[in-house]
Structures are given as structure tokens and as C-alpha cells.
Structure 1
Amino acid sequence: MIKDPSGFNHLWKIENLEKLDSDYYDSREFTAAGYKWKMQLYPKGIDSGTGSHLSLYLVLADFASLTPPKIYADYSLVLSNELGTNGVSYQENHWFSASSRESGSANFIPLRFCVEPAYKYLVKDCLFFRAAVTIRGIPSTL
């Protein structure tokens, strides 16, 4: 049984992008469809995006207490531009579980696009990310 199939949006503000020195950062946890989630940002990239791209993932935060043992979700990760409209978007669907608790893009956006004024993503030294999550199902074998 799906706890709450409705979608949810979470906004995350990142300040001082060029001064971030950790490998990754987590957003605060948020609840969508009865489950706890967070966004995970790799400001210098990870895997195929290392050194060239900003990497962004959606992470199921409470995977240990997941009932049923996996859930199917549609989600999008968005970097908004200066005008507040959707700028860069990554959309996916994924079976989230204890063994597969994150999904996203190693090549979300080239790093240079984040800081070049012409692209208008950096607003007063801040970036704005949004996650939208909708639970679509559970395994039919349960």
C-alpha cells in the first residue's frame, strides 16, 4: 500500500558555491509520500562528472525502515535560473530500496554554467535546487 501517492516539492538554497570545500553536501531531510528524502550535491562532481560537472542526486534517507522493501518513484531535480523558471532539469523514475537508495546525475550541469553570468543560475552567490517526488508503486509480488 502506498502511504501517500501525492507529489512533493522541496527547495534547497546553496550559498557560496565556489567556496564549498567538502566532497558532497546534503540538503535537510524532507518528507514526500510518507518517506524521508534528501538531495545530495557534489559541487566538484563525482564519477564521470568529476572536475567538469556539478553532480546531483535524490537519496532515500530512511531506507532502513522502508516498508515495503522497495518503492517506485518518479522524480525531478531542477536548478532554477535567475528568473525563477526551470533552468536545468533531470527527470527519472527509480526503484528505491536499501541496496539502491540514490538516483541522479553525475553530469547534472557543467560547472562553468553555474558561475558564468550569461547563464543566470548564480543569484547573489546562491544556487536554487528543487526536488519533486511522486511515489508510483510498490512491487506487485508483495
Structure 2
Amino acid sequence: MKGRKVPPCHCLFKIESFSLLSKASLENYTSEEFEAGGYQWTLSIYPTGNKKKDGEDHISVYLNLVVSSSSSFPAGWEVNAIVNLFVYDFLREEYFSYEDAGTKRFHKLQTQWGIPKFIDLDLFEHPSNGFLIGDACVLGAEIFVIKPPSKQECLSIIEEPPLLSYRWRFDNFSRASLEKYESALFFAGDYKWKLVVYPNGIYEGKGNSVSLFLTIDTPSIPPNTKIYVHCNLRVKDQIKGRHVETKFYRHFSSSDHTWGSRTLLPLAGLKDPAEGFLYGNSCIMEAEFKVLGLLKAL
């Protein structure tokens, strides 16, 4: 058994006059109901051991799942939980439990789990061990119900995905007057895409940068699917070949269909003729990307 200072978080059960309980005619005593993990439970104490389970000369402790109404449990139900049962050591001020309690399965034919030989009676009653002081003891329980995962997904990686690319030549760029412009839809892989540019920037790039994004046409995405993409967006330097670009890995989905850079190219650099981003007042933007895999909900 291993001790800790922190008490069990779901049930503490103190018994006073333990010697009288052990001499009483009842085989076991069951606590009032308590809640843990959305279920109701009780704790059963066998003060002289559960003799039917070879627990004689020990204290036996059991956890019971309360199934008061069949309507509250669906057909074929089961509850899986990590269970720990505790006894308090008054001298060391620690709660002791078995380290290997582990995960337990409760179902229609098995609504109880416990330890017939939870603690030896002679060991328990000896004053130097601190479990029974002033004829009082404290037992406890922690139950952590393991529920089905709220989210289940499967990632399928594509072997040797092809490099996909699109070039967008934007003429009369310096005279662009709208907040944003969209390229024509283009097919790449099994999906439709487009580039979106904000010539005067957006958000933190507004008024100081060119913002460029790749967006997927959401009707082309299969239901409950995310497209995992590695992308390189760039604005080309048409004189020196010193392009400005941003790279990213991203899931594209119906609810998250656009990604790029809000501050891809400073406007000062764009407007500098020596930099070559505007050549004949045309700007060339490119997207190179690979669809690396598909993430599907199960």
C-alpha cells in the first residue's frame, strides 16, 4: 500500500466504536450513496471480513454501483472506472491505498468490486500502525469513470503526394482599389482552391503590408474531413529572384478554410521599383503545396 497526504475526493467514511461494529450481528455495513463520474455509488465495509470471498480475519471493502432503475442504463451498458480504496493512518496523517487497483468494469452482472483482504485485522487494530485510534477509523474511495472519447479521428497519410502549384498574375496592382481580390478557382488534387489578396493588408497588416491567403472551396471537401496541407505562398521578385514567401502546415476544413500571412510583404518593399515585386505594374503571386493526408472523424 502507498500513502499520500491528499484525501480521496469522492467518499470519506468514518467509523466510531469500530469494535462494537465488528461485534454486531450484521455481516457488513453499507454507506449512504455518493456521486462520482455521473453515477451513484456506495461503500460496503465487512468489519471481520467477507468470509464468502476468503476474507476472514481481514477487513473487506467493496464499492457498489447503484442501479436503482433499469431505465437509467441502456441495454448492454457498462461502466469502466479507475478505483482506489483508502484507509487513513492517523499517526502519519496519510491515506493508504493499493497501487495496483487499476481499471474496473461494472455491468449488469457485476455491479460490485472490492478487496476481500483489504487489510489484516491484527495489523489494523495494532495501535502502532495508526489505522484504529480511539476505536475510530476512516475509509475512503475515489472513482474516476472512463467515458468514451469525445473526439475520434483517423489520419490517412498520402504516399508521395504530388506538388501542386498555381500562379496568379495580378495586373495594375498599384491601382487596386478594393479591399480584397480573389483569383479564379483552380483544381489542385481532388479539390478546388483560390488565392485571396488584400493589397493594402488586413488586421495587423492593414496599411503596412500585402496580405495573401490560400483558401479551399468548401463544397469540394468530403463530409467530416480535414485536408492536411503543406503550403508555400510567395510574392515573386521579378528582377532579382529574391521572392518573399511564407510556409505553413495546416488543416483545411469547412469551418477553417483559409490560411496564409497577414504581413507577407511590406508595402514599402512592394512599392520600391528596385525590389522587383511590381514589374510593369504587375504582381505575381504563387502557391505551391502538397496535400499530405486526410483527417476524418470516426
How high is the TM-score relative to the length of structure 1?
A: 0.90
Tell me the residue number matched to 2:247: 91
Deviation, structure 1 residue 59: 0.3
Q: What CA distance in whole angstroms lies between the structure 1 residues aligned with 2:191 and 2:260?
A: 18
RMSD: 1.8
Deviation, structure 1 residue 86: 5.1
| AA at the equivalent of 1:24 | K
Q: What CA distance in whole angstroms lies between the structure 1 residues aligned with 2:240 and 2:189?
A: 25
Q: What CA distance in whole angstroms lies between the structure 1 residues aligned with 2:243 and 2:220?
A: 35
Determine which of 261, 264, 267 is the counterpart of 1:111.
267
Instruction: Describe the SS at the equivalent of 1:138.
Output: strand
Is residue 48 from structure 1 mapped to residue 181 from structure 2 by the alignment?
no
Determine which of 20, 24, 46 is the counterpart of 2:176.
20
Give yes or no for contact 1:78–1:86 (8 Å, CA) kept in 2: no
Aligned length: 140
| AA at the equivalent of 1:45 | G
Tell me the residue number matched to 1:67: 222
Cα distance change of structure 1 residues 84 and 72 upon mapping to structure 2, 3 Å threshold? farther
Q: What CA distance in whole angstroms lies between the structure 2 residues aligned with 1:65 and 1:24?
A: 23
| AA at the equivalent of 1:108 | L
Residue deviations 1:92-135 (CA, integer Å, cap 9, x gap): 11000011000000001101111101211111110111111210
Runs of 5+ consecutive residues of structure 1 not aligned to the other structure: none
Greater relative contact order (Cα < 8 A, sep 6+): 1
Deviation, structure 1 residue 65: 3.8
| AA at the equivalent of 1:50 | K
Q: Which runs of 4+ in 1 moved over 2 A?
A: 83-86
Is residue 11 from structure 1 mapped to residue 167 from structure 2 by the alignment?
yes
Residue deviations 1:48-93 (CA, integer Å, cap 9, x gap): 10000000000002x1341152110011111111237351011111
Q: Find the structure with the greater CA-based Rg.
A: 2
Q: What CA distance in whole angstroms lies between the structure 1 residues aligned with 2:275 and 2:187?
A: 31
Instruction: Describe the SS at the equivalent of 2:239.
Output: coil
Give yes or no for contact 2:228–2:249 (8 Å, CA) kept in 1: yes
Cα distance change of structure 1 residues 12 and 84 upon mapping to structure 2, 3 Å threshold? farther
Q: What CA distance in whole angstroms lies between the structure 2 residues aligned with 1:84 and 1:134?
A: 27
| AA at the equivalent of 2:249 | N
| AA at the equivalent of 2:190 | G
Identity %: 29
| AA at the equivalent of 1:101 | H
Q: What CA distance in whole angstroms lies between the structure 2 residues aligned with 1:84 and 1:6?
A: 28
Cα distance change of structure 1 residues 84 and 119 upon mapping to structure 2, 3 Å threshold? closer
Q: What CA distance in whole angstroms lies between the structure 1 residues aligned with 2:216 and 2:204?
A: 22
Runs of 5+ consecutive residues of structure 2 not aligned to the other structure: 1-155
